[in-house]
Amino acid sequence: MITLKEWLEIVNYRITEGSDYNAYGGVGVYSLSSWNGDQDGYSMEIIFNTNTQEIYEAQACDYKHNRAYRLINQAHKQQPRDGEAWDSTKWIDLEEDDDWIQKALAIVAGEDYDTRVNMPLELDDDVLFKMMRMAHERDITLNQFVEQCLRVVIDQEQDKS
């Protein structure tokens, strides 16, 4: 999980609000926010425990593109969380710290960024080698091949519902 220091560096140490936060057990849970003051800009929030310094969640809201990303500490993923960030904009839950950091840095800088969600993938060596060969046969990268495979499975699941 990202650290408070990393979050502060991303927002250039610009804190615009802080308050107690009513989740994750409540006692000592606090949130810090950084908003750039522009309705079409961004806001960042980090939720942590003031006693233990444990980070529960980091949020990055891109109002210009109506995108809301959050990174939830793995130890707290089982707790039900609201799926809507604002109006009809749903949270996009990220799985990897670096994915959240890269998106947050780009949002703060006003730069374009990759909206795809990075997912950790652990494969046995024999499966990985087989997939690498299949990607090579199609003259694409392993990442492109994995993405194609995932899209097929996602489409099949959506067709079922």
**Is 103 in contact with 60 (CB distance < 8 Å)?**
yes
Residue 79, pLDDT > 70, answer: no
Which of 22-26, 128-132, 153-157 tops mean pLDDT? 128-132
User: What percentage of the chain reaches a pLDDT higher than 70?
Assistant: 98
What spatial distance separates the first Cα and last Cα of the chain, rounded to whole Å?
Answer: 34
**Segment 93-152, tens digit of pLDDT:** 999 999 999 999 999 999 999 999 988 888 899 999 999 999 999 999 998 999 899 889
* pLDDT value of position 47: 97
Residue 161, pLDDT > 80, answer: no
Query: Which of 77, 35, 86 minimizes the C-alpha distance to 57?
Result: 77
* pLDDT value of position 59: 98
* pLDDT value of position 37: 96
* pLDDT value of position 80: 63
Does residue 119 or residue 42 have the better pLDDT? 42
Does residue 105 or residue 154 have the better pLDDT? 105
Strand order in the sheet with 29-35: 17-20, 29-35, 42-49, 55-62, 67-72, 89-94, 84-86
* pLDDT value of position 134: 95
* pLDDT value of position 26: 76
Delimit the domains of the chain by residue range.
4-109, 125-160
CA atoms within 13 A on the CB side of 72: 16
